[in-house]
Amino acid sequence: MRLSRYFLPVAKESPADAQIVSHKLMLRAGLIRQTAAGIYAWLPLGLRVLRKIEQIVREEQDRAGAVELLMPTLQSADLWRESGRYDAYGPEMLRIRDRHEREMLYGPTNEEMITAIFRDSVRSYRDLPRTLYHIQWKFRDEVRPRFGVMRGREFLMKDAYSFDLDEAGARLSYYTQLLAYLRTFQRLGVKAVPMKAASGPIGGDLSHEFIVLAPTGESEVFYDSDFDQFDWQQSELDYGNEADLKRLFDQVSGMYAATDETHEPARWDAVPEMRRRQGRGIEVGHIFFFGTKYSAAMGMSVQGPDGQPVVPQMGSYGIGVSRLMGAIIEASHDANGIIWPEAVAPYKVGLINMRADDAKCAAAADDLYAKLNAAGVETLYDDRDERGGAKFATMDLIGLPWQIVIGPKGLERGVVELKNRASGEKVELSIDDALARLAG
For a copy of itself, the binding residues (CB under 8 A) are 5-7, 9, 30, 33, 35-37, 39-44, 46-47, 50, 65, 67-76, 79, 91-92, 94, 96, 98-99, 102, 104, 106, 113, 116-117, 120-122, 130, 132, 137, 139, 141, 143, 153-154
Smallest distance from a copy of itself to CB 43, Å: 5
Q: How far apart are CA 72 and CA 434, in angstroms?
A: 46
Smallest distance from a copy of itself to CB 230, Å: 28
3-state secondary structure at position 134? strand
Smallest distance from a copy of itself to CB 315, Å: 16
Q: How far apart are CA 26 and CA 113, in angstroms?
A: 33
Q: How far apart are CA 53 and CA 184, in angstroms?
A: 9
Please say which residue, 263 or 391, places its beta carbon nearer to a copy of itself.
391
Smallest distance from a copy of itself to CB 263, Å: 32
Please say which residue, 134 or 421, places its beta carbon nearer to a copy of itself.
134
Amino acid in position 363: A
Please say which residue, 62 or 264, places its beta carbon nearer to a copy of itself.
62
Please say which residue, 36 or 270, places its beta carbon nearer to a copy of itself.
36
Smallest distance from a copy of itself to CB 284, Å: 20
Q: How far apart are CA 323 and CA 155, in angstroms?
A: 7
* Secondary structure letter of residue 92 according to DSSP: T
Please say which residue, 145 or 204, places its beta carbon nearer to a copy of itself.
145
Contact 316/109 with Cβ under 8 angstroms? Answer: yes
Residue partners of 7: CB distance under 8 A and separation at least 6: 43, 44
Q: CB count, 10 Å around CB of 419? A: 20
3-state secondary structure at position 146? strand
Signed CA dihedral, 286, 291, 293, 297: sign only: positive
Please say which residue, 68 or 342, places its beta carbon nearer to a copy of itself.
68
Please say which residue, 169 or 232, places its beta carbon nearer to a copy of itself.
169
Amino acid in position 409: K
Smallest distance from a copy of itself to CB 36, Å: 4
Please say which residue, 71 or 439, places its beta carbon nearer to a copy of itself.
71
Contact 388/352 with Cβ under 8 angstroms? Answer: yes
Smallest distance from a copy of itself to CB 118, Å: 8
Q: How far apart are CA 100 and CA 408, in angstroms?
A: 68
Rounded to 5°, angle at Cα 229 from 228 and 234: 115
Count of residues in the chain: 440
Q: How far apart are CA 174 and CA 331, in angstroms?
A: 28
3-state secondary structure at position 213? strand
Smallest distance from a copy of itself to CB 362, Å: 17
Smallest distance from a copy of itself to CB 163, Å: 10
Give me the helix-helix angle, 321-331 and 44-63, nearest 10°.
110
Amino acid in position 213: L
Smallest distance from a copy of itself to CB 214, Å: 24
Please say which residue, 119 or 421, places its beta carbon nearer to a copy of itself.
119
Alpha helices (runs of H) in 254-406, residue ranges in sequence order: 265-270, 293-297, 321-331, 359-374, 388-398
Please say which residue, 104 or 343, places its beta carbon nearer to a copy of itself.
104
Q: CB count, 10 Å around CB of 37? A: 12
Contact 170/313 with Cβ under 8 angstroms? Answer: yes
